[in-house]
Amino acid sequence: MLAEAALVAAGADEPDEMNYIRAHVRAQMAKTGCDLETAALRVFSNAEGAYGSNVNQLVDSSAFDDEDELADAYQARKGFAYGVNGKATAQGALLQAALERVEVAYQNLESVELGVTTVDHYFDTLGGISRAVRRARGGQEAAIYISDTTRGTGTVRTLADQVALETRARSLNPKFHEGLLRHGAEGVRQIEAHVTNTMGWSATTGQVEPWIYQRISETFVLDEVMRKRLSDLNPVASSRMANRLLEAHDRAYWQTDAATLAALQSAAAAMEDRMEGVAAE
């Protein structure tokens, strides 16, 4: 339906100043020599049978040196256009041209139970396209918004505000994280996932406020009682969380004073030793 709408708009007998889709399609045709149907393609996704951009996997495995590698992954995976026939064709150059014109990107929240830091597919998609747009536009970022219509009349927030809200209301909220920890190892895993997903937003958009990492460090790693509790419940996830905070610091997503950094490094080393059974904390 969207592909058909774009094609109909592109073929409308209207002046360019009244029909931006037609204007952009005509410009693309003039630039590349392609036909109208190709230039009017606007629905991009994976090849048939594939899913995701792999941005989440690169973040989870720390397998990127430069953030533009995340843009590479997104464009390689999402560079397939779907036309009115419903078939996918590789259109990497056309996706690049479309990204150069993106000024706003947004995401609807799907459930009151899930936030943008709860699961990784949000930064895998919205984060991935945001990073690709930034590169395509020579460093100029698109505005990123989150539409929350899970309750009441709905609210639109910036991504930075949404991440901060979720951090305060969920991870740093004792009622929330204590509820998670009642589930033992799985609760610790979910707290660690929040940290990893938060870093995913830093890597793809740079729109995570530094205080978030500081407060998470103080709450879950630098607090000796909490650190021991998490290590007892899930030594693997707790160690991953501590090292993820250090990774975020190494990538300059946040900064702290030398004493706090040293304490975090020491705590992370102790948690890793505990995970490996080298020593008990």
Q: Are 235 and 271 in contact (CB under 8 A)?
A: yes
> pLDDT tens for residues 146-202?
999 888 788 999 999 999 999 999 999 999 999 999 999 999 999 999 999 999 999
Question: What is each CA distance from 153 to 78, 132, 136, in whole angstroms?
Answer: 33, 32, 35
Dist. CA 240–CA 275, nearest whole Å: 10
pLDDT at 278: 60
| Residue 147, Ramachandran bin (φ over 0: left; ψ between -120 and 50: alpha; else beta) | beta
The whole-number average pLDDT for the span 213-231 is 96
> pLDDT tens for residues 19-70?
999 999 999 999 999 999 999 999 999 999 999 999 999 999 999 999 999 9
> pLDDT tens for residues 59-94?
999 999 999 999 999 999 999 999 999 999 999 999
Domain ranges of the chain: 2-124, 159-276
Q: What whole-number percentage of the chain has pLDDT above 70?
A: 99
Q: Are 29 and 98 in contact (CB under 8 A)?
A: no
pTM of the model: 0.92
Q: Quick one: angle between helices 68-78 and 92-99, nearest 10?
A: 130
Dist. CA 259–CA 217, nearest whole Å: 13
Dist. CA 30–CA 12, nearest whole Å: 17
Q: DSSP letters along 74-122, please?
A: HHHHH-EEE-TT--EEE-HHHHHHHHTT--EEEEE---TT--TTTSTHH
**Amino acid letter for position 63:** A
Q: What average pLDDT does the structure give for the chain?
A: 94
Q: Look up tokens 């250090």; give the residue.
A: 246
- The secondary structure of residue 67, as a DSSP letter, is T
Q: State the alpha helices, DSSP H only, in 89-210.
A: 92-99, 121-122, 128-136, 159-166, 174-181, 185-205
> pLDDT tens for residues 111-121?
888 899 999 99
